[in-house]
């Protein structure tokens, strides 16, 4: 079973994980790499069921709120200059935007089309050679 991995900065699939004999191998998405070529061949011969999409991480309400809350210094400044009610209103807007029902979690994303296209190309090239 192959597992697609996304790059944390770009969000694009940049490598493929394969666990073999208890060892995790990372295969770069690079058509000149022999392990990548084997991946494409395996998909072509065995089908898409051997490929699992990348993990999709959904943040929880707490993580989403934390990203939007102003710094403590800014919050204290708002309270001092505009009062507690203005501060409460600003914070409540953020809480309403990200309710506690957003629990977050990890799901499995779809396998990108390029995987099937690469397998189809492999089959086509094999047929040309024959």
- The one-digit pLDDT tens for each residue of the chain (130 residues) are 999 999 989 989 999 999 888 899 999 999 999 999 999 999 999 999 999 999 998 999 999 999 999 999 999 999 999 999 999 999 999 999 999 999 999 999 999 999 999 999 999 888 888 7
- Cα 127 to Cα 36, 45, 121, 124: the distances in Å are 20, 13, 10, 5
pLDDT of 128 reads 83
Tokens of 40: 């494409």
Alpha-carbon distance of 41 to 31, in angstroms, equals 12
Task: Please list the alpha-helical segments (H only) found in the chain.
Answer: 34-46, 61-68, 72-82, 84-97, 113-129
pLDDT of 21 reads 86
Please check whether residue 118 is in contact with residue 38, taking contact to mean a CB–CB distance below 8 angstroms.
no
Alpha-carbon distance of 1 to 25, in angstroms, equals 12
């Amino acid at each position: 079973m192959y597992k697609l991995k996304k790059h944390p900065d770009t969000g694009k699939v940049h490598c493929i994980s394969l666990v073999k004999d208890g060892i995790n191998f990372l295969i770069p998405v690079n058509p000149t790499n022999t392990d990548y070529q084997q991946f494409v061949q395996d998909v072509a011969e065995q089908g898409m069921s051997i490929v699992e999409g990348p993990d999709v991480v959904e943040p929880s309400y707490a993580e989403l709120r934390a990203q939007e809350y102003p710094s403590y210094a800014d919050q204290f400044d708002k309270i001092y200059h505009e009062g507690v009610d203005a501060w409460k209103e600003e914070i409540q807007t953020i809480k309403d935007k990200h309710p506690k029902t957003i629990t977050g979690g990890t799901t499995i994303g779809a396998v990108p089309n390029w995987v099937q296209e690469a397998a189809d190309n492999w089959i086509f090239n094999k047929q040309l050679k024959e």
